[in-house]
Amino acid sequence: MSRIVGRWWWWLLAGLPLLAFLAIPVVALILKSVGNRIATSSEFNDAIRLSFETSLASIVVTVVFGTPLAFAIARYQFPFRKAVNVLFDLPIVFPPAAAGIALLLAFGREGLIPTSFGATSIAVVMAQCFVSSPFYLRAAINAFSATDTGIEECAALEGARPLEVFAKVVMPQCSSQLASGAVTSWARALGEFGATILFAGNLAGRTQTMPLAIYIGWENDLDQAITLSAIMLGIAFLAILVVRAFGKQ
């Protein structure tokens, strides 16, 4: 059937320039990082530790508060529902640097809601949540919208309470999609740069995550920047594998 519109290699050759454009930088990074030895510093180790701590904290916050929010959007009609739905997707297309400015205006020392979170790991988590939560929310909304409500009705008729129906009927049906969305959101949080550097700053050991350390390393220690970039490339590759594994379930 596919031969009606030509052979596969016709189309592959037509897209080869883009494929090469995407592949060559990845290959160059891998080749450069092989055998690249650096003297690990406290800043290097702190950046890796802080990246994992803050990104894991951000995904916990996103899942805990985003799951009921996504369920409300997927199952109920309420005032301004469409506006809320649009708000979910806004951070995906909103420039990260502009997001950092918005967070400062909202939660800076002189912001709309004044806080002292600036230059702390809490600010890093907030920036990561802002840019990464839509990936989980959208996956959760789609999952909750696609579940079989008939099973839920049967459970309710058997006497199950609303929270029991949600926990024992709805969640098992959506577990793989929710896990896929959580991994995608976590990977996006791990790679967050623009909003973090503007809202939280770039303080070694306090707010300097791996992307920020790569930025500084480009000027001060290129070998360290290459190593951190290779680490993030490996994490991204594993995250994609995990997301696809959940997608097949």
Residue 249 pLDDT grade (very low, low, confident, very high; cuts 50, 70, 90):
low
Asked if the model's pLDDT at residue 1 lies above 60, the reply is no
Looking at the domain 40-247, which fold is it? MetI-like fold (1.10.3720)
Q: What is the pLDDT of residue 217?
A: 85
State the residue for tokens 């037509």. 14
Asked if the model's pLDDT at residue 98 lies above 70, the reply is yes
The C-alpha torsion from 217 through 223 and 229 to 230, rounded to 10°, is -170
Taking only the tens place, the pLDDT of each residue in 206-235 is 999 999 999 988 888 888 899 999 999 999
Residue 39 pLDDT grade (very low, low, confident, very high; cuts 50, 70, 90):
low
Task: Look up the pTM and report it.
Answer: 0.90
Q: What percent of the chain has pLDDT over 90?
A: 59
Residue 35 pLDDT grade (very low, low, confident, very high; cuts 50, 70, 90):
confident
Asked if the model's pLDDT at residue 247 lies above 80, the reply is no
Instruction: Report the C-alpha gap between 34 and 13 in whole angstroms.
Output: 30
The domain ranges of the chain are 40-247
Taking only the tens place, the pLDDT of each residue in 162-191 is 888 888 889 999 999 999 999 999 999 999
Residue 163 to residues 78, 130, 145, 151, Cα–Cα distance (Å): 20, 28, 17, 14
Q: What is the pLDDT of residue 219?
A: 81
Buried b / exposed e across 197-232, counting CB within 10 Å, b at 16+? bbbbbbebeebbbbbbbbebbeeebeebbbbbbbbb
Taking only the tens place, the pLDDT of each residue in 107-148 is 999 889 999 888 899 999 999 999 999 999 999 999 999 888
